Amino acid sequence: MTLLKSWVASANSADTDFPLNNLPYGVFSTPMHEARCGVAIGDMILDMAATEAQGLVALTDDPLFGAPYWNDLMEQGPAVWAALRSRLMALLAEGSGARNQIEPLLVPMTEATLHMPFVVSEYTDFYAGRHHATNVGTMFRGPENALPPNWLHMPTGYNGRASSVVVSGADIRRPWGQLKSPDHDAPAFLPSRRFDMELEMGAIVGTSSERPLSVDDADAAIFGYVLLNDWSARDIQEWEYQPLGPFQAKATATSISPWIVTRAALEPFRVATPPREVALLAHLKDTGPMLYDVDLTVTLAPQGQPASTITQTNYREMYYSAAQQLAHHTTSGCPMNAGDLLGSGTISGPTKPERGSLLELSWGGKEPLTLGTGETRTFLEDGDTLTLSGHAKGEGYRIGFGICAGTILPALDDPFTT
């Protein structure tokens, strides 16, 4: 597919994340207006509350954009999702007769503050990238036992905290927790010394279900995708994870990008999952190209210093797709809700510059990473800003996600004193 032209001039640039082909969904506010739903187009945001109020978008009998989240639209299902996208493309396309009505409803992005784009119902994080799982397993168990016996048969994961999902730009406070030193018998309660990031994609479930879903049904239930940073306290994790897995190590925060890129916008960029070493059971088998060709980059900027690129990889490196993750999640009869968020698991490629966490990049702290400033990192230091970005490349355009950024604040002096 080539670039679709818009009468919004900035949407026709090859460098914008938000051409007419994209039209991602977010929530924004301005000094003049409280938080409301918006659609990104070039360097502008279309005010959806105002668009609906003027009768330019009427998809149901009840308003869909009066609240500052996109859950109301999600609950309408794929037919209404498609109708909205078609209507927005007609309103914003080059030559549209609605330009005079729509243009006053556009807000410059430079004047807007972005907020959480949806209410997170539940949050599940997976461990579904083979390169990441192999690297981590090799560090802790040796290459011969890197992957657990179940790993090639199903996407493993854990239930996280919806309450700690935050939007890009929110600061991240270094957590306290129980840490176990190898030269001491007992743990100590201290701030994390091995705080890390994880490069992931997040899939947003758009339709509720109370029965097991096939892979195809699960794929159709996904509303869209965001960038996701699964902040991880590796030293807390190392002490707590046996026998039940991640808990407090992953509860500090999960950052997401503020724009939901729809499944429809990513459709031209579908790619196949990697070849299967072990055949999947029938309910998880691939039914077609299930992943997306999305280039991903992570930069790290020490406080007051320029940013250095520390990772460049691609979403196509995942072993399991979001549709397979969602299908597996439902097999027990677990109900899924509109607004559920599924983290992909860390996205790493086969080479060192493609690793999606500092745990891998520094090989557990044994191989410090040198930044462009000359500083080194094994894990994150106070004042560091991590920025995730990503886009799919089309012919003369790209489908971007904006950024997912967070800055590390020092641990509280005393976590029990307000």
Q: Catalogue all structural domains in the chain, each as residue range(s) with its CATH number.
A: 9-115 (2.30.30.230), 123-409 (3.90.850.10)
pLDDT band at 1 (very low <50, low <70, confident <90, very high): confident
pLDDT score, position 286: 95
Q: Does 398 have pLDDT greater than 80?
A: yes
Which element (helix H / strand E) includes 224? strand 222-230
- Annotated active-site residue 132? The verdict is yes
Q: In Å, how far are 88, 204, 284 from 390, measured between CA atoms?
A: 23, 17, 27
CA 239 from centre of chain: 27
Mean pLDDT computed over 320-328: 98
Higher pLDDT, 61 or 273: 273
pLDDT of residue 245: 83
- pLDDT interval class at 246 (50, 70, 90): confident
- Which residue out of 33, 115, 131, 132 is catalytically annotated? 132
Answer yes or no: is pLDDT of 90 > 70: yes
Phi and psi for 236 in degrees, rounded to 5? -65, -45
pLDDT, residue 180, reads 86
**Predicted confidence (pLDDT) per residue in 283-298, tens digit:** 999 999 999 999 999 9
Confidence class of residue 418 from pLDDT cuts 50, 70 and 90? low
The mean pLDDT value of the chain amounts to 96
Pull the structure tokens for residue 312.
């460049």
Mean pLDDT calculated for residue range 14-26: 98
Tell me: the pLDDT tens digits for 141-186?
A: 898 989 999 999 999 999 999 999 999 999 999 999 999 877 777 8
Instruction: Say what the pTM is.
Output: 0.97
Q: Where are the beta strands (DSSP E) in 315-418?
A: 341-343, 369-370, 376-377, 385-393, 398-409
pLDDT by residue (tens digit) across 255-266? 999 999 999 999
